[in-house]
Structure 1
Amino acid sequence: MRRLDSAWQRPQTIICNEIYWTSTAKRCDIVLPVTSPLERNDIGGSPAESSVLAMKQVCPPVEEARSDYDIFSGIAERLGMRDRFTEGLDELGWLKRLYKETKDFLEDAGEKIPSFDEFWSAGELHHRVTSKSYLALKKFRDSPSSFRLSTPSGKIELFSHKISGFNYPNCPGQAVWLEPIEWLGSKKSKSFPLHLISNQPKDRLHSQLDFGPLSSSGKIKEREKISLHPDDAIERSLKQGDIVRVFNDRGALLAGVEISTAVRPRVVHMATGAWWDPSPGGAEESLCKHGNVNAITKDHGTSDLAQGPTALSCLVEVELYEGSSLDVTAHEPPEILRS
């Protein structure tokens, strides 16, 4: 988060579309209020579902909120390219075009599909074409010679000459065990002796609706909770409900203690998704008052080739927080300079 905070200072102006005063929105110079799904028309569905839903607007937009499409159409008009962006279609026109693409696809698969007006009136379309029976590499498995893979050999490869040829020290051509950047067996564990594992939360989707009653009910004194094994809590003189400082050489955050035997000794657990709420002061001195775990996780790719995220595992230390009182302001709106 420190790197992100530093990068955020570089652009002259930052603009976003948002429904809520998220951490991102609060740090933008201009926020364009966007409608929720209840304030606009849309179509819902996915390849794994056997139905398509008419998501009809149920209430007018609140105050000056506009749909994403209206916002971008307006910007395009200011830039003198509205027709190029909209292709001459309004919201309903685009829904009809998207429905037609779905209709054509389903009819090619042998389905009998109603017109858009019939679908919109009924509110739902049921069909039998889904991906529930999807089988990975099915064509290749049925006929490897006819449906070769995109690998050099056309087969599943346990060793890749191509990847090996890149000579990446952290990504050889075959599966091997490589020492993690941070783990309990590393020298760094002498300074930060607890292994933090973070996962997707069970009471919200990523960070969505973090302010909602379900997400809030899982917090301790308004802060994200951290689960510690009883032995680690005793070693640090911590008890259930204490507010602790979780830290390493990248940053710090505050969290509420949950003592649990569901985690192993020397392992602690926190969910991701708490909205970032930095304390006053410079980036080097501040901590997240609310418990955003990314304040302490590492920003390092899985390898020189893949560059996947490794932010769900890192080393930390935990201590009782005895600093000045810090109110959680993660869900409070910012000061508005001009509207």
Structure 2
Amino acid sequence: RFTEGKTDLQWLETFYQIASQRGAAQGVTLPPFAEFWKANQLFEMPESEQNARFVRFADFRRDPENHPLKTESGKIVIYSERIASFGYADCPPHPAWLEPDEWHGNAQPGQLQLLSAHPAHRLHSQLNYSALREQYAVAGREPIALNSDDAKARGINHGDLVRVWNARGQVLAGAVVSDGIRPGVFCIHQGAWPDLALDEGGICKNGAVNVLTKDLPSSKLGNGCAGNTALAWVEKYEGPALTLTAFDPPASS
């Protein structure tokens, strides 16, 4: 069985015991699980004196000959011959600024820069369907942070339902108007569960930001996420009311 015969609480205790064993190996003693669970409080691990004094590469700085770095030269590398040998046009062998595929420098009129930051109330998409959602959802959707000047220029007020779109897709989001984000930029946190309305142009009713981002790596070398390299338009949503179905159980359940 997928659950291996354990309940949710038994799995939590299993994970806790693993953490407890690893903590003990590092001199940290966790309370018994039952005691921890009943207390329902954060457990703060004391910082060791050694960790408090930790300085990265201290041995290298003190004695570089006997404590070389794990680089081709054993030293800090500014120009990498190894990376140069790859011949990647999108990743030179030295630190450099490369113009992004999408940014303010090539934006079309009215487009804003998208930021897809990590959310504070969940881990990626985990816990999107939980009581925590009631603390941050706006207009029943994933929130979008907009600068007050950008919102005013588009007739958007705090709490409005807005449509965000580009050539890749479109989403609905709830407006959070704030001066805490710079003009020309908006932020939708990553991790919302997709909920596409196929009969309404495929708009995501829940605000899944990946609908708007490019499915391309940061470079051929790094292959990292390029989730902030995107532009999109934002407007107040005036379309038909769309029922959120992201959290409905599948028909086969």
> Structure 1: how far apart are the matches of 2:187 and 2:47?
43
Q: Is the Cα contact below 8 Å between 1:195 and 1:316 reproduced in 2?
A: yes
In the superposition, the TM-score normalised over structure 2's length comes to: 0.81
Match of 2:119 in 1: 201
1:245 pairs with 2:217: no
Match of 1:170 in 2: 90
1:254 pairs with 2:172: yes
Q: Deviations over 1:120-139 (max 9, x none)?
A: xxxxx999697554432233
> Structure 2: how far apart are the matches of 1:322 and 1:147?
64
In the superposition, the TM-score normalised over structure 1's length comes to: 0.62
Q: Is the Cα contact below 8 Å between 1:194 and 1:267 reproduced in 2?
A: yes
Match of 1:51 in 2: 28
Q: Which runs of 5+ in 2 are unaligned?
A: 36-44
Compared CA separation, residues 237 and 128, structure 1 to 2 (3 A)? closer
Q: 2:243 aligns with which of 300, 322, 327?
A: 327
> Structure 2: how far apart are the matches of 1:219 and 1:315?
23
| Higher RCO (Cα < 8 Å, 6 or more apart) | 2
Q: 1:230 aligns with which of 119, 125, 148?
A: 148
Compared CA separation, residues 243 and 34, structure 1 to 2 (3 A)? farther
Q: In the alignment, residue 234 of structure 2 is paired with which amino acid?
A: V
Q: Is the Cα contact below 8 Å between 1:198 and 1:312 reproduced in 2?
A: yes
Q: How does 1:8-157 map to 2 (within 5 A)?
A: 35-39=7-11, 40-41=13-14, 42-45=17-20, 50-53=27-30, 56=33, 131=51, 133-157=53-77
Cα distance, 1:215 vs structure 2: 2.9
1:307 pairs with 2:227: no
Match of 2:104 in 1: 184
Secondary structure of 1:162's counterpart equals helix
Compared CA separation, residues 227 and 126, structure 1 to 2 (3 A)? closer
Larger Rg: 1
Compared CA separation, residues 127 and 185, structure 1 to 2 (3 A)? closer
Secondary structure of 1:259's counterpart equals strand
Match of 1:278 in 2: 196
Deviates more, 1:47-56 or 1:34-43: 47-56
> Structure 2: how far apart are the matches of 1:331 and 1:265?
33
Q: In the alignment, residue 218 of structure 1 is paired with which amino acid?
A: Y
Q: Which runs of 5+ in 1 are unaligned?
A: 1-15, 19-31, 59-124
Identical pairs, percent: 36
Q: Deviations over 1:179-231 (max 9, x none)?
A: 01110111xx1156101112111222322222233332211122011111222
> Structure 2: how far apart are the matches of 1:174 and 1:38?
50
- The alignment of Structure 1 onto Structure 2 pairs a total of residues equal to 239
Secondary structure of 1:43's counterpart equals helix
Q: In the alignment, residue 211 of structure 2 is paired with which amino acid?
A: A
Q: Is the Cα contact below 8 Å between 2:101 and 2:229 reproduced in 1?
A: no
Aligned residues: CA RMSD: 3.2
Compared CA separation, residues 17 and 233, structure 1 to 2 (3 A)? farther
Match of 2:39 in 1: none
